């Protein structure tokens, strides 16, 4: 495909071919999340600094508890809508039924959150914050099912601007509240307001651009989609357990300030993981479609292409994150959060494994092996709970971080074993080795540049720029040498 002949409008707003569609969707999602995460970093800095580790710990504890219920809002329906509607047109009744089911699920889960809040905390402020954030999670989940529909049509540009709107409001209102009326309850209200406005805009846009939404009860459709989604729901439940239960345990055991430090570190790591998540979201519809159409070679090519992107990104981020952790945490949160540095270093290594695990998760779901995936994630969740019980009382936030890292390594190893057996995708090949070796060599060169004594003391932004340039140039030179070697080899043969 000659992209020079494609107008900008067609390139960014139309689906022309597989690679162009993936690039278009990635552009919109990465663009939106780039702006969103930049704004959220600003909000987090002010929230953590103004509220302090104790109050921020209370807010993080409340949000972690609510997030444990988030999977029950969705029950895996979002991914199923993206997968199933990616090769279907129409199906208005099915989507109306699913949207209605989501409303009913939301009401039930909100009731469970309300009841659970009385058991998890005796603090009335924390309880009320839990209620507020519970409603907020419901609004974002209802918006999410609309986004899933647009993803199935590979129209991520709509999701992009709506999410940007939400985060802009969350940040602007959150900053106003935290600077003028600082409290965890008021911060929760700012999240809820932004989520509600985004849901209203999403419903309005869907009404005029697709079709009007209304309550539609159809038990046969509910049963059909829940039958497909329940393994994904289990995956979500188990994944949420091993990602959130540590904060809930620390908060329940009275380690509130440690919860604040831990979540300050974890929030940064989650932000770093966003690009890989967005790349996965952009590739997933194409993976689902090629598997459904039994195009095994195309399925492998799309997976390989995504793997190359992840390798290019994951290795330097992990190395750079470990090396620059003290400067990153100090610049963002200040000296009062210095205890979060080691936790951040442990969790950024965990993120390195998570980048690849997320790709393998998508491949299993696209290949309709979500039941097998749920067993793998369940194994990780069980191990994580056991490790948290053993390590958190003694090592607090560092025990939680180590538990998360060991859990992710187990999941990664299991996925390496089962993905090639259960799907047409073959992980190990020469191309993978070449890219992995290049990323490791380039990351080593980057490390040597940024960790020199005369370099490490300069501004964090300049350090990141130096690291990015040294890594990118090294990787490109490596690829050029490799390509030249193979070209010469092919000519000689």
Q: What's the pLDDT band for 428 if we cut at 50, 70, 90?
A: confident
- Closest-CA residue to 353 (of 264, 299, 415): 415
Indicate if 211 and 308 belong to the same structural domain: no
Q: Is 230 helix (H, G, I), strand (E, B) or coil?
A: helix
For residue 79, give Cα distances in angstroms to 166, 387, 451.
Answer: 21, 30, 42
Q: Which residue has the tokens 């340039």?
A: 469
Query: Residue 493's pLDDT is what?
Result: 46
Q: Domain containing 383: what range?
A: 258-278+291-428
In the predicted model, what is the mean pLDDT of residues 126-137?
Answer: 94
- Closest-CA residue to 192 (of 212, 211, 217, 166): 166
Q: What's the pLDDT band for 4 if we cut at 50, 70, 90?
A: very low
- Closest-CA residue to 53 (of 244, 191, 258): 258
Q: pLDDT at residue 405 above 90?
A: yes
Indicate if 85 and 133 belong to the same structural domain: yes
Indicate if 221 and 322 belong to the same structural domain: no
Q: pLDDT at residue 6 above 50?
A: no
Indicate if 227 and 318 belong to the same structural domain: no
Indicate if 365 and 219 belong to the same structural domain: no
In a domain, 392, yes or no: yes
Q: Which residue has the tokens 């919109």?
A: 28
pLDDT cut 70: percent of the chain above it: 88
The pair phi, psi for residue 176, each rounded to 5°, is -60, -45
Query: Residue 5's pLDDT is what?
Result: 45
In the predicted model, what is the mean pLDDT of residues 293-312?
Answer: 87
In a domain, 485, yes or no: no
Indicate if 206 and 267 belong to the same structural domain: no
Q: What's the pLDDT band for 43 if we cut at 50, 70, 90?
A: confident
Model-level pTM?
A: 0.76
* Count of helix runs (H) and strand runs (E) in the chain: 16, 0
Question: Could you give the CA distance from residue 473 to residue 440 in angstroms, rounded to a whole number?
Answer: 13
Indicate if 209 and 307 belong to the same structural domain: no
Q: pLDDT at residue 452 above 90?
A: no
From 428, 445, 473, give the residue that closes a domain: 428
Indicate if 188 and 55 belong to the same structural domain: yes
The model's pLDDT over 328-381, given as tens digits with 9 standing for 90+, comes to: 998 888 888 999 999 999 999 999 999 999 889 889 988 888 888 889 988 999
The model's pLDDT over 186-198, given as tens digits with 9 standing for 90+, comes to: 999 999 999 999 8
Mean per-residue pLDDT of the chain = 84
Count of the separate structural domains present in the chain: 2
In a domain, 358, yes or no: yes
Question: Of the ranges 40-54, 267-281, 319-333, which is most confident?
Answer: 319-333
In the predicted model, what is the mean pLDDT of residues 18-34?
Answer: 59
In a domain, 252, yes or no: no
Q: pLDDT at residue 489 above 80?
A: no
In the predicted model, what is the mean pLDDT of residues 170-183?
Answer: 89
Q: pLDDT at residue 3 above 60?
A: no
Q: At CA 111, angle to CA 109 and CA 115, rounded to 5?
A: 115
In a domain, 461, yes or no: no
Indicate if 270 and 407 belong to the same structural domain: yes
From 384, 404, 428, give the residue that closes a domain: 428
In the predicted model, what is the mean pLDDT of residues 239-251?
Answer: 85
Indicate if 76 and 176 belong to the same structural domain: yes
Indicate if 219 and 273 belong to the same structural domain: no
In a domain, 330, yes or no: yes
Indicate if 171 and 53 belong to the same structural domain: yes
Query: Residue 348's pLDDT is what?
Result: 96
In a domain, 269, yes or no: yes
In a domain, 326, yes or no: yes
The model's pLDDT over 247-288, given as tens digits with 9 standing for 90+, comes to: 889 988 989 999 999 989 998 898 888 777 777 777 877 788
């Amino acid at each position: 495909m000659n992209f020079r002949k494609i107008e900008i409008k067609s390139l960014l707003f139309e689906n022309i071919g597989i690679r162009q569609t993936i690039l278009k969707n990635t552009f919109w999602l990465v663009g939106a999340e780039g702006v969103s995460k930049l704004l959220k970093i600003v909000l987090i800095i002010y929230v953590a600094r103004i509220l302090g580790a104790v109050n921020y710990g209370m807010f993080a504890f409340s949000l972690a508890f609510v997030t444990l219920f988030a999977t029950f809002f969705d029950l895996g329906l979002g991914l199923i809508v993206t997968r199933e509607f990616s090769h279907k047109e129409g199906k208005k009744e099915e989507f109306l039924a699913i949207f209605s089911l989501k409303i009913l699920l939301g009401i039930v889960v909100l009731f469970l959150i309300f009841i659970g809040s009385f058991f998890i905390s005796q603090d009335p402020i924390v309880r009320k914050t839990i209620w507020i954030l519970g409603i907020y999670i419901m609004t974002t989940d209802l918006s999410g099912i609309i986004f899933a529909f647009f993803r199935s049509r590979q129209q991520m540009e709509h999701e992009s601007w709506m999410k940007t709107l939400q985060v802009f409001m969350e940040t602007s209102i959150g900053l106003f509240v935290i600077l003028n009326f600082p409290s965890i309850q008021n911060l929760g209200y700012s999240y809820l307001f932004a989520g509600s406005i985004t849901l209203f805009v999403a419903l309005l846009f869907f009404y005029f651009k697709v079709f009007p939404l209304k309550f539609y009860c159809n038990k046969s459709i509910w049963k059909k989609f829940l039958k497909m989604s329940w393994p994904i729901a289990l995956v979500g439940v188990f994944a949420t357990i091993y990602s959130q239960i540590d904060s809930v345990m620390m908060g329940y055991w009275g380690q509130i300030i440690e919860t604040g430090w831990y979540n300050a570190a974890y929030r940064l790591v989650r932000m770093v993981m966003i690009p890989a998540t967005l790349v996965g979201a952009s590739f997933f519809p194409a993976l689902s479609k090629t598997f459904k159409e039994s195009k095994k070679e195309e399925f492998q090519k799309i997976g390989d292409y995504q793997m190359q992107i992840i390798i290019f990104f994951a290795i330097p981020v992990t190395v750079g994150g470990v090396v620059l952790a003290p400067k990153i945490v100090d610049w963002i949160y200040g000296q009062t959060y210095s205890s979060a540095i080691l936790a951040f270093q442990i969790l950024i290594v965990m993120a390195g494994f998570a980048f690849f695990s997320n790709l393998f998760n998508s491949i299993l779901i696209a290949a309709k092996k979500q039941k097998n995936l749920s067993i793998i994630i369940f194994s990780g969740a069980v191990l994580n709970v056991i490790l948290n019980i053993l390590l958190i009382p003694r090592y607090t936030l560092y025990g939680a971080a180590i538990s998360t890292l060991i859990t992710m390594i187990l999941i990664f190893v299991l996925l390496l074993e089962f993905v090639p057996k259960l799907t047409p995708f073959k992980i190990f090949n020469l191309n993978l080795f070449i890219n992995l070796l290049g990323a490791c060599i380039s990351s080593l060169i980057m490390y040597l540049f940024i960790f020199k004594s005369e370099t490490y003391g300069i501004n964090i932004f300049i350090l990141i720029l130096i690291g990015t340039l040294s890594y990118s140039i090294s990787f490109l030179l490596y690829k050029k040498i490799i390509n030249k070697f193979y070209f010469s080899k092919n000519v000689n043969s």
